[in-house]
């Protein structure tokens, strides 16, 4: 089994090329691969499948050549990953699997346009964020109020007035399970300058990570709404436009909020490529069959 390791602002992924959609990717295998001590280590898995081999029904897939099958580190399936999509695009470009600088990738959240900038950074058109009203999360014992935002995957972006480094993200934030039955990514966000944010995140299925691309977009949306009037009606878009710098523990992202869409720009790095050891895979499969894994 071939793999590549990459990251976007410290949010790291394993890319598994599977053009023919023949790889059985069980939750147990995902968890084992992402384990940082006994596996390769990653925040998630990006499986690269050619659209011609991908059988999941989705409208408009013909305009894309590749489907990004994203899995969280715990083996669960996620709809979208902004950092992951940039890394996915970098891998396709580096291996001659896509013609740049612009092309389309299919995800569970729909089609996403990607573009390689002259600087080498990757920009993703994230579509229009959906504003879903307010809710609260208890983060390390601190009650935080935030804006629920969907980017295909769910977020609760909480704008705070103290440095985000002080928040304890060692355990999952406590949220309203009726409001977020499938879990939610929780961001703590502080405005530290003109259209300049700092952000930390706890991602459902992966834990505290060094960065989250969709979370950076949600953070910018929440901060923009606070600047406008402190409230947000469902799907209200006025006053959101502008360019925001978002600093995360792993680096810096740029979010450009438009009237009808949103752009996410940042670095994407391929660190290594290699092969998984067949004996390790065989032992893993035997363990799963016997109930050990």
The pLDDT tens digits for 189-214 are: 999 998 999 999 999 999 999 999 99
Average pLDDT (19-27) is 91
Cβ-proximal residues to 198 (8 Å cutoff; 6+ apart), any chain: 163, 164, 189, 190, 192, 246, 247, 248
User: Rounded to whole angstroms, how far apart are CA atoms 200 and 131?
Assistant: 20
Please confirm, yes or no, whether 212 is among the known catalytic residues. Answer: yes
Instruction: Give the Cα separation of 92 and 185 in Å (integer).
Output: 27
| Contact by Cβ (8 Å): 248, 7 | no
* pLDDT at residue 226, rounded to an integer: 87
What is the mean pLDDT of the segment spanning 138-156? 96
Q: Annotated catalytic residue: which of 34, 144, 158, 212?
A: 212
Active site residue 158: no
What is the distance between the alpha carbons of residues 270 and 91, in angstroms, rounded to a whole number? 7
CB 191 within 8 A of CB 197: yes
Lowest mean pLDDT among 44-48, 135-139, 166-170, 288-292: 288-292
Go through the domains of the chain in sequence order and give each one's CATH number.
Answer: 2-126+269-290 (3.10.310.10), 130-260 (3.10.310.10)
**Strand ranges (E), the chain:** 2-8, 11-17, 44-50, 66-72, 102-107, 110-116, 122-125, 130-139, 142-150, 154-160, 174-175, 185-193, 196-203, 207-209, 242-248, 251-257, 262-266, 269-275
What length is written for the chain? 293
pLDDT tens digits, one per residue of 62-117: 589 999 999 999 999 999 999 999 999 999 999 999 998 999 999 999 999 999 99
Q: Considering 34, 81, 144, 158, which one is annotated as catalytic?
A: 81
Please write the tens of the pLDDT for every residue from 234-284. 434 445 679 999 999 999 999 999 988 999 999 999 999 999 999 998 888
Global pTM reads 0.90
């Amino acid at each position: 089994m071939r793999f590549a390791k990459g990251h976007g602002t410290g949010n790291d992924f394993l890319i598994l090329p599977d053009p023919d959609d023949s790889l059985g990717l069980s939750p147990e295998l995902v968890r084992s691969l992402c384990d940082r001590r006994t596996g390769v280590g990653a925040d998630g898995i990006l499986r690269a499948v050619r659209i011609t081999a991908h059988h999941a029904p989705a409208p408009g897939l013909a305009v894309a050549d590749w489907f990004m099958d994203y899995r969280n580190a715990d083996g669960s399936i996620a709809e979208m990953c902004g950092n992951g999509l940039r890394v996915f695009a970098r891998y396709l470009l580096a291996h001659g699997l896509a013609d740049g600088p612009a092309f389309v990738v299919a995800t569970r959240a729909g089609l996403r346009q990607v573009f390689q900038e002259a600087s080498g950074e990757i920009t993703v058109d994230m579509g229009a964020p959906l504003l879903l009203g307010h809710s609260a999360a208890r983060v390390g014992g601190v009650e935080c109020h935030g804006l629920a935002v969907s980017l295909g995957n769910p977020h609760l972006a909480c704008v705070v007035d103290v440095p985000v480094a002080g928040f304890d993200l060692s355990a999952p934030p406590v949220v309203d399970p009726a409001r977020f039955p499938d879990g939610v990514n929780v961001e703590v966000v502080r405005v530290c300058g003109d259209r300049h944010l700092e952000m930390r995140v706890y991602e459902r299925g992966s834990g505290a990570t060094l960065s989250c691309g969709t979370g950076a977009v949600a953070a910018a949306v929440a901060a923009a709404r606070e600047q406008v009037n402190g409230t947000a009606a469902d799907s209200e878009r006025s006053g959101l436009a502008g360019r925001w710098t978002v600093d995360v523990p792993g680096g810096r992202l740029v979010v450009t909020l438009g009237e009808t869409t949103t752009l996410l720009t940042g670095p994407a790095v391929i660190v290594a490529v290699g092969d998984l050891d067949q004996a390790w895979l065989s032992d893993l499969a035997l363990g799963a069959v016997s109930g050990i894994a």
